[in-house]
A and B are shown apart, each in its own frame.
Chain A
Amino acid sequence: MEILFTYIQVLAYIFLFLDFIRLMGKEENNPGEYQKKSRRKFLKDMGLLAGGAVAGSAAMYAGLHYEQSKLPAGERLKLLSADGKLVEVAASHVEEVKIPEGELLQIRGREGLAGHNWVMVIDLAKCRNARKCIEACQAAHHLRPEQFHINTLQIRESKNTAPFHQPKPCQHCDNPPCVSVCPVDATFKRSDGPVLIDNERCIGCRFCIAACPYSARIFQWFEPPMAEEDKQLTYNVELNVPQKKGTVTKCLFSADRLREGKLPYCVSACPNGVYWFGDETEDAVTNGTTKETTQFSELLKQNAGYQLMPELGTKPRVYYLPPKNRLFPFEEESGKEQKG
């Protein structure tokens, strides 16, 4: 639609310019005469344009009508369409749909898993910064050691409050600022919750990085580390592999694993039972370490679960349980870069 407007705009500019040159050339000494003539001419031009448009539409409609009337009256089949409607078509018209693998991954990657609404609960009392979640994530998504889809941060809110380790994946907001600002629909919110990014669409403007308050997004500043090995792979938007130079990449809630009915990479890799992952629709979450399943709403209620910076209105899908009665003593990491 936008492109159509652009064309019309460009055509209008050219048209006006040509008209301008033509008028400049006229040796017209009577301004009143010029005005009258140009109005008449304008009306005539508009008439021509409108007439052309009507004629074009009529021809297209007639063509469509003719195409429809050609259908043979032979054997007919009742079929279920992709959106669940019962339809009838002539048997001779039934063809097997062949979608290339890449296209298929793109289509289903944008659709999401119907009926689900994924959530994550992170128990801060259990995290001791083992960083297994990070390793598993980086291995799955072919990232460099300094590139994080998920990171654990050392947080100390103020002088008198206790420090703790805070695993921080993308918050998969229900009101994601990153999606609002994307100019090309490269990053999008899926019906089942995750915010994904399509590296074949991303233009690399990094507006989403600027807009994200959780610093959840990273960029491929150079050729990705496994570019050579991944050359023969088909791009999977649910995995962001192969990673692509000059585009943004981010935590995907392991959408590829969810499709297989498995828990996300980070959740399964945690040795300390930090992560709960599940479906808000079913009100159930499963612990990645113990595989224990519990009621999502009850877990939050019993432990005073909260979200990160809810005052920003982003409505995160990741919840935190406060670091009360920490299982591990807090060890300050020495030699690491810190700021904030």
Chain B
Amino acid sequence: MQRQDDQIISDLFRPVRLNKAHLIWLGILMVCLAFCLYAYSIQLRKGLGVAGIRDFISWGMYIANFVFFVASSLIGMLISAVLGLIGIRWVKPLTRIAEIISLAFASVAGLVIISDMGRPERLTYLLFYGRLQSPILWDVTVVVTYVLISALLLYLPLIPDLAIGKKALTKPTWLKTLYGILSVRWKGTPAQFLIIHRSIRILLILIIPVALAIHTVTSWLFAVTSRAGWNSTIFGPYFVSGAFVAGIAGVIIAMYFFRKNYKLEKYLTEKHFDHMAKLLVLVSLVYLYFNINEFLIPGYKLERGDTIHLQDIFTGHNAGYFWFAQLFGIIIPVILLLFKPMRRPFPMLILAILVFLASWIKRYIIVVPTQEHPFLPIQHVPANFLVYKPTLIEAGITAASFVLVLLIITVLSKLFPVIPVLEMQEEAGLKPAGNQS
């Protein structure tokens, strides 16, 4: 018993120390970030025009990226809250990974949207002059709330683990001190368990409507306009179902790397990959259903604006992106994952990367082509106003957001065990499960 207990503790706390390889990785990320920040400084100095966006296609990569980031952040809600509350046990080792991903993407989403502002220094005007009828105000409110709840949902289940870690770790001392402060005098008494279980439960219930709200409101940035391609009543659920596809792909990628680099094969087993594959198929089918509704119905009626829009994305200059997103984001993974050999970790990593990429491109396809054909023709303007071509600076600033996400995930997963320690002990039957009221 004691030996197995020690084994779990030493397995899960082993990655919690900085080694050379990780310092080099952090260094590389920092250098990338410095380059990207330089790109942003150019934008601040010269204006938003350094990006490829112009008067007609005025929302480009930044907004597509923002939608993608909000989408990817919904996964914490699905894994921890929805599956956790139903009582599905296999998700337990995945909850912290999902929460870290959620927190990273949600908090960086806020920065992504700032990079799209012509006047970032006026951000506080949203507080001073905010108008309730604007979806942007709702978006800011719910994203901030979601970041806060996600942070708490990461932190609260961590408290018992930190107390365990404080005892188990021998060095470095600063980490022991940090664990001591953050574990807020956790002793594992029944009263403490009661408080923490109740708090987590309330947060898990609370995060479901908030998560639905952030992505629904994000979809309303488009759906409240009358433009062909955006003028849709199903944008809320369409976006939410797509978000789960992107998020699950993100978690699978993270699972693969944590399993390999942190030697967690015993905790993130092939069984977990198999379950995640089936979950991915399920959400992809739901997303496919919304896609059929979103494209078949306008395609059936062929109103003028919709005709131009559909022609553009089906066969026009955006068709390549559209079909890549649909094939690699939904159809191919759904078919391949029906076969058991494809549900093993490595094939799934490849599929998840493709799905992740396709999900990003799908957001681009939702945001950009609609603006290329407004109600009235685009005339008497330079050629670069007609078609959106992202610039290098824009790509660099967008890359910064991914570097930041990787940084946050790296730091959090290095500071704290990525698999919940206490829950693994409970699962192994080593500790009585805390007072589950």
Contacts and interface: CB of A to CB of B under 8 A. Distances in A.
Interface of A: 2-3, 6, 13, 20-21, 23-31, 34, 146-148, 151-155, 168, 177, 180-186, 201-207, 209-211, 213-215, 217-223, 245-248, 309, 312, 336-340
A21 B184 contact: yes
Given A31-B435, A215-B56, A338-B379, A204 B226 contact: no
A247 B118 contact: yes
Contacts of B129: 184-186, 201
The 10 closest A-B pairs by CB, nearest first: A204-B118, A340-B377, A221-B49, A246-B118, A183-B136, A183-B134, A28-B191, A25-B185, A222-B47, A184-B129
A209 B125 contact: no
Contacts of A213: 225-227, 374-375
B195 A20 contact: yes
A43 B124 CA distance: 35
B136 A207 contact: yes
B380 A337 contact: yes
Contacts, number: 194
B30 to A, nearest CB: 29
Nearest to A155: B377
5 contacts: A20-B199, A29-B189, A146-B381, A219-B54, A339-B378
B189 A210 contact: no
A307 B246 CA distance: 44
Contacts of A151: 379-380
Interface in B192-212: 192, 194-196, 199
A152 B380 CA distance: 8
Given A183-B126, A184-B126, A219-B48, A340 B379 contact: yes
B215 to A, nearest CB: 18
A182 B221 CA distance: 11
Interface string B366-385: 00000101111111111101
B23 to A, nearest CB: 33
Nearest to B195: A23
Given A29-B191, A337-B381, A182 B134 contact: yes
B374 A215 contact: yes
Nearest to B437: A31
B214 to A, nearest CB: 16
B123 interface: yes
Which of B53, B56, B189, B385 has the largest count of A CB atoms less than 10 A from its CB? B189
Contacts of B185: 24-25
B377 A153 contact: yes
Contacts of A338: 377, 379
